[in-house]
Every structure is written in C-alpha cells, then in structure tokens.
C-alpha cells in the first residue's frame, strides 16, 4: 500500500522537497534582516553572503587556505587510521592484550582532544604538527574502537571451520577477519573523517596555523561579518563533501555486504 507509486516518482518528490527546503531556508535568512528582526550589520543578507562566497571561490588565497586545511586533515586521518588499524588488529586478535588494555583505553578515549591544544602549542608552536597531534588523537579512537569490535566479531563456527580446513594464520586474517571487520572499519573511518575535519578547523581557529579556521578567526577579529558567514558555509560544504565521499567509499567497498545489499532489495 505504501509503495504504490513508482520509485522514481518518490525520489523525485524527495529531491524537489529537499531543494524547496533549502530555498525556504535561504528565503527566511534573506527576510530576517530585511524585516529588521536582526540588524543586517550582524546578520548579513543571504544574497550578499552568497555573492561573497562566489568571490571567495575565485580567490587563489582562499583555495590555498582550503588546501592547507585539507592537507592537515588528510595527513592526520592517514596517520590515525594506519596506527589504529595496526594496533586494533593486533590487540583485538590477542585476548590477553584485549583484557589488559581495556581500562587504559576506556580512560584515554573520552579525554576531549581539545584539552591537548595547550600542550601541542607548547611543544610545536604555531605549526601544522600541533594541529596534527590533536587531529590524530581525536580520530585514532574512532577507528581503533571499531576495529577492536570488528576483529572480535568473527563468527566462532567460521573460525573453527577455517582452522580445521588448515588455513594458515595469514590467510585466516585475509579471508576471515578482514571481511568481518570491514563494515566496522568503514564506519570508524567515516566517523574519523568527520572528526578530523572538525579538529583541523578548530586547531586553526585556536592555535592559528594557516587554513580555513584561521581565516574565520581573522575575519571575526577584523569584524568582516559577511566574510565570516561565507566561510562558515564553506566549512559546511567541506564537511558535506567529506561525508558524501566516505559514504560512497563505504558503499563501494561493502557492496557484497548484507547491510548494503539489503537496502537495494527493499
């Protein structure tokens, strides 16, 4: 009964409504300063902000800042993921290490990474390394914990079967542990990518290493409010792009998995 209309019509309706929602939001934004609810000095017109955004997109300095932010994001995420996958696999596969590290992990994990900003500034000063410390610390736990769960989730029957068929340790890891842990790993990577962007921009705002975050802090202190709003939109677009990218990677690499295939059937 719910699915009488064809699929394409439903997704068309969804797209139209979604675009209407975005336009409605922009219209509301435009109307608030026009009607004088908030002074246009503090909340610039939507049109003005979007015009500034278009200007920014033609500015080389702006793209350099985006490049700097994305560089520290990519380096931080890579270091964190590689370390987390290596450590998570080893610790997850050896029960003794799993038990022995449990309390330490549970204590270190909830520490907010921004608490380390002062320390990173002292040790590295206003450089990219200071930002990297914070990015790596924050995104490491996201991946590590997921890998730990994933490696532990191997089906007992499958494991015993593999063993009695005489699979070597390395081929057990490749053919059994890896496919089991992959969905968990992908979730971890997606979360870590989002967290790494948050921390990359936060670090630039607070520490002052070059990037989009520093541009935001600068336009804030220079009272360039239009520029500030435009940059906030830019960070949102960056976040959205990263989310979409990692969702695509997740779908591609898990195309064989029940959770992805299941959605297609429904």
Partner 1 sequence: MTLYTGTVVTVRPKSRVWRSIGENALYALGLPFLLLVVWGVWSTISPQKFFPGPIEIIQAFVDTWIGPQFFVDVVPSLARLGLGIVLSIAIGITAGTVIGSIRWLRELLEPTLEFFRAIPPPVLIPVVVLLLGITDATKVIVIVSGAIWPILLNTIEGVRATDAVMTETARSFGITRWQRLRYLVLPAASPQIMAGVRQGLSVALILMVISEMFSSSSGLGYRITYFQRNYLIAEMWSGILLLGLIGVLLATIFGIVERRVLSWYHGIKEVERA
| Residue number with CB closer to partner 1 (173 or 232) | 232
Considering the complex, what minimum distance in angstroms separates the CB of residue 166 from partner 1?
25
Which x/- pattern over 4-43 shows residues binding partner 1 (rule: CB under 8 A)? ---------xx--xxxxxx-xx------------x---xx
- Around Cβ 29, how many Cβ atoms within 10 Å? 18
Which listed residue (6, 8, 36, 112) binds partner 1 by CB under 8 A? 112
Task: Tell me the C-alpha distance between 249 and 251, whole Å.
Answer: 6
By CB under 8 A, is residue 240 in contact with partner 1? yes
Considering the complex, what minimum distance in angstroms separates the CB of residue 264 from partner 1?
17
Task: Tell me the C-alpha distance between 208 and 218, whole Å.
Answer: 9
Which x/- pattern over 146-185 shows residues binding partner 1 (rule: CB under 8 A)? ----------------------------------------
By CB under 8 A, is residue 118 in contact with partner 1? yes
- Helix intervals (H) in the chain: 7-34, 46-57, 60-93, 95-108, 117-124, 128-152, 156-164, 169-172, 178-206, 212-221, 225-253, 258-265
Cβ(200)–Cβ(72) below 8 Å: yes
Considering the complex, what minimum distance in angstroms separates the CB of residue 175 from partner 1?
20
Which listed residue (206, 211, 246, 250) binds partner 1 by CB under 8 A? 206
What sign results for the dihedral spanned by CA atoms 146, 73, 83, 181? Answer: positive
Cβ(195)–Cβ(142) below 8 Å: yes
By CB under 8 A, is residue 229 in contact with partner 1? yes
Considering the complex, what minimum distance in angstroms separates the CB of residue 163 from partner 1?
20
| Window of 77-85, 162-170, 176-184, 211-219 that interacts with partner 1 by CB under 8 A | 211-219
Which residue in 19, 27, 23 sits closest to 45, CA to CA?
Answer: 27
Q: Which two tokens stand for residue 44?
A: 């610039």
Task: Tell me the C-alpha distance between 60 and 47, whole Å.
Answer: 22
Report helix, strand or coil for 256. Answer: coil
Considering the complex, what minimum distance in angstroms separates the CB of residue 108 from partner 1?
8
C-alpha 159, offset from chain centre = 33
Residues that bind partner 1 (CB under 8 A): 2, 13-14, 17-22, 24-25, 38, 42-43, 99-104, 106-119, 121-123, 194, 197-198, 201-202, 205-206, 213, 216-217, 220, 225, 228-229, 231-232, 235-240, 242-243
């Amino acid at each position: 009964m719910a699915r009488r209309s064809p699929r394409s019509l439903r997704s068309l309706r969804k797209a139209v409504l979604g675009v209407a929602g975005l336009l409605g939001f922009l219209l509301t934004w435009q109307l608030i300063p026009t009607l004088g609810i908030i002074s246009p000095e503090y909340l610039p017109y939507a049109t003005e902000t979007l015009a500034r955004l278009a200007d920014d997109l033609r500015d080389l300095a702006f793209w350099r800042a985006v490049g700097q932010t994305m560089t520290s994001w990519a380096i931080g995420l890579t270091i964190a993921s590689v370390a987390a996958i290596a450590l998570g696999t080893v610790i997850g596969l050896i029960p003794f290490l799993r038990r022995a590290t449990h309390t330490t992990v549970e204590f270190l994990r909830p520490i907010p990474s921004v608490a380390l900003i002062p320390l990173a500034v002292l040790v590295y000063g206003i450089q990219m390394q200071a930002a990297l410390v914070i990015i790596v610390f924050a995104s490491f736990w996201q991946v590590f914990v997921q890998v730990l769960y994933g490696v532990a989730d191997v089906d007992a029957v499958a494991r015993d079967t593999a063993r009695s068929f005489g699979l070597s340790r390395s081929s057990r890891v490749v053919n059994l542990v890896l496919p089991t842990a992959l969905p968990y790993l992908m979730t971890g990577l997606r979360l870590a990518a989002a967290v790494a962007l948050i921390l990359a921009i936060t670090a630039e705002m607070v520490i002052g290493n070059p990037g989009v975050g520093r541009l935001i802090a600068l336009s804030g202190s220079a009272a360039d409010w239009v520029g500030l709003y435009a940059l906030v939109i830019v960070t949102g677009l960056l976040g959205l792009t990263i989310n979409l990218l990692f969702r695509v990677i997740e779908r591609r690499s898990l195309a064989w998995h029940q959770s992805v295939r299941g959605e297609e059937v429904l």
